[in-house]
Amino acid sequence: MGPSQSPIEPSAVSAAEAQLLPRALQKDAEKILESLCDPSRLKIVQALRAAPLTVSEIAKVIAKTRAATSQHLKVLREVDAVTAERRGRYVRYSLSENVNAEVLEGVANAFDQLRPTAQVVPPS
């Protein structure tokens, strides 16, 4: 072992490996995290914390076209983070009540920490 290499502690490596998700769940985790690779999808998650919204309402909030917003919602639906419910002529989107949505909401909540304290608006 050279002077710049530190010894490997097998018990520390084992403990660290035990913290990793099993391979099958790792793929799911990657998909969930990849769903937030576009800042518009983070904005959608942040907006949906307040209330269920239509595509038009979400598009207005995130300053995108309805078509672009629909594509972003499709990505979030594919990871089961967002649900769609038809109410009359309109479809309202909301955050799902599962761990995928919780992960994304947790990321959105973490980014809230970047706001000045007076600007943090708690979800209703």
In this predicted structure, what is the pLDDT of residue 124?
56
Instruction: Name the more confident of 114 and 66.
Output: 66
Instruction: Name the more confident of 40 and 37.
Output: 40
Beta bridge partners of 91: 86
Contact, 58 vs 23, CB < 8 A? Answer: no
In this predicted structure, what is the pLDDT of residue 92?
97
Helix (H) or strand (E) holding 72: helix 66-78
Q: What are phi and psi of 22, to 5 degrees?
A: -60, 155
Q: What is the distance between the alpha carbons of residues 48 and 30, in angstroms, rounded to a whole number?
A: 22
Provide the angle, in degrees to the nearest 10, between the axes of the packed helices 23-34 and 99-112: 50
> 29: pLDDT confidence band, cut at 50, 70 and 90?
confident
Q: What is the distance between the alpha carbons of residues 108 and 101, in angstroms, rounded to a whole number?
A: 10
Report the range of poorest mean pLDDT among 8-12, 33-37, 117-121: 117-121
In this predicted structure, what is the pLDDT of residue 122?
61
| Model pTM score | 0.77
The torsion angle over the Cα atoms of residues 52, 113, 35 and 66, rounded to 10 degrees, is 40
Q: Which CATH architecture has domain 40-115?
A: Orthogonal Bundle (1.10)
Give the model confidence (pLDDT) of 54-108 as tens digits: 999 999 999 999 999 999 999 999 999 999 999 899 999 999 998 888 898 888 8
